[in-house]
Structure 1
Amino acid sequence: MNWNARDLGNLADGLKYNVPPGTRPLVMHQLGDGQDQIDRLFWGYKPAWYKRPPVINARLDTILKKSPMWRALLGRRVLVPADGWFEWTGDVGDKQPWYIHSKDDGPIYMAAITAWQPGKAD
């Protein structure tokens, strides 16, 4: 892949510094024509038959063992560039955020899967 992570801020809408579920983070992919591309894709997944709120994360062992809903997406991989993320620990009502990032403050790339297909609505 030929992307330069330092140039991501030059894209339309610039960088986002808070990207909670339900928003559209920048993702890097080669879906469609196989060329390097960057798009904003919706964070969350909910098939029409799924009765719960949209799913925002899944463990690989769960995907491989128990969930046929996810298996079709394993070949639709993307990278999500980020400076870091927060993990929260503690009791309900008394949570402490911990900012996780690279030691040199360089970009990190989080692996993700997507149901998005070029040319189709979300």
Structure 2
Amino acid sequence: MCGRFAQYADPETLADHFGLATTAVDAQPRYNVAPTQPVLAVRLTEDQQHRECVNLRWGLVPFWSKVPDHRYSMINARAETVASKPAYRAAFAQRRCLIPADAFYEWQPGKDGKQPYAIRRKDQAPFAMAGLWEHWEGDDGAVIDSCTIIVTEANALLAAIHDRMPVILAPEDYGNWLGTGRTDRETDKALLQSLLKPADPSGWEAYPISRAVNRPANDSPNLIEPLVAEAP
């Protein structure tokens, strides 16, 4: 699963990388994004003509849920079943998004507890995790726009740390993933499904970091610094 990540690229970098029409992005550097918190997401505008960057609550609430119950607040969707699961299939068909990230974290079990690792591009460029978003409205007028991150099996770099990883899309696939309108045709579904695969490990790095990242309240650039081994 992917349960923590970092978003710290500046608005200009985000606008350039994701092809946004404006640099007016509400982007504050964040180094320890956790479930239920707002996250930046790129999606198509309502007229399907442009890309916009918005804040969505991390943990998808299906539109049909009676209440925003924690049982339906799902932070990850499995690539193998995302197109067919009732909680995700409507969003998969028509509400796909990109979740910008600069790094994500996974924990490797060990005899002294779980050791957190940061995973990022070697060139430290931002990247996009495949996501879905949903719009929920309550009887009392409450509105929640939420999202989930799609995960797949780990690649060779991650396999020794965790058995799953987020789906990371290549920039040339952003347009195909966002698409336009509904995606009900089997040919469209097949194209989307083909994108839900482990990322090529070349160009990526994974390194141990401080366990301070375990606490969601901790949020500073120090969290992504490589762990310095203590002298014997």
Could you state the TM-score of these two structures normalised by the residue count of structure 2? 0.44
Residues 1-122 of structure 1: pairs in structure 2 closer than 5 A: 3-5=15-17, 11-12=25-26, 14-34=28-48, 35-47=50-62, 48-49=65-66, 52=71, 54-65=73-84, 67-74=85-92, 75-90=94-109, 94-116=113-135, 121-122=143-144
1:116: Cα distance to partner? 3.0
The 2-side partners of 1:12 and 1:59 are apart by 29
In 2, Cα distance between the equivalents of 1:109 and 1:76? 16
Larger strand fraction of residues = 2
8 Å CA contact 1:43–1:56 kept in 2: the answer is: yes
The whole-number CA distance in structure 2 between the counterparts of 1:73 and 1:88 is 29
C-alpha deviation, 1:9, in angstroms? 8.7
Please tell me the root mean square deviation across aligned C-alpha atoms, in Å: 3.1
The structure where helix makes up a greater share of residues is 2
Letter matched to residue 121 of structure 1: V
Count of aligned residue pairs for this structure pair: 118
Unaligned runs of 5+ in 1: none
Structure 2 unaligned blocks of 5 or more: 1-13, 137-141, 145-232
TM-score by length of 1: 0.79
Asked whether the 8 Å contact 1:3–1:36 carries over to 2, the reply is: no
Residues 107-116 or 43-52, more deviating? 43-52
Whole-angstrom CA distance in 1 between matches of 2:27 and 2:134: 23
**Tell me, what secondary structure is at the counterpart of 1:4?**
helix
Do the aligned partners of residues 105 and 71 (structure 1) sit closer, same or farther apart at CA in structure 2, a change above 3 Å counting? same
Give the drift of 1:33: 1.7
Secondary structure at the counterpart of residue 128 of structure 2 = strand
Cα displacement (A) at 1:29: 0.9
Identity of aligned residues (%): 31
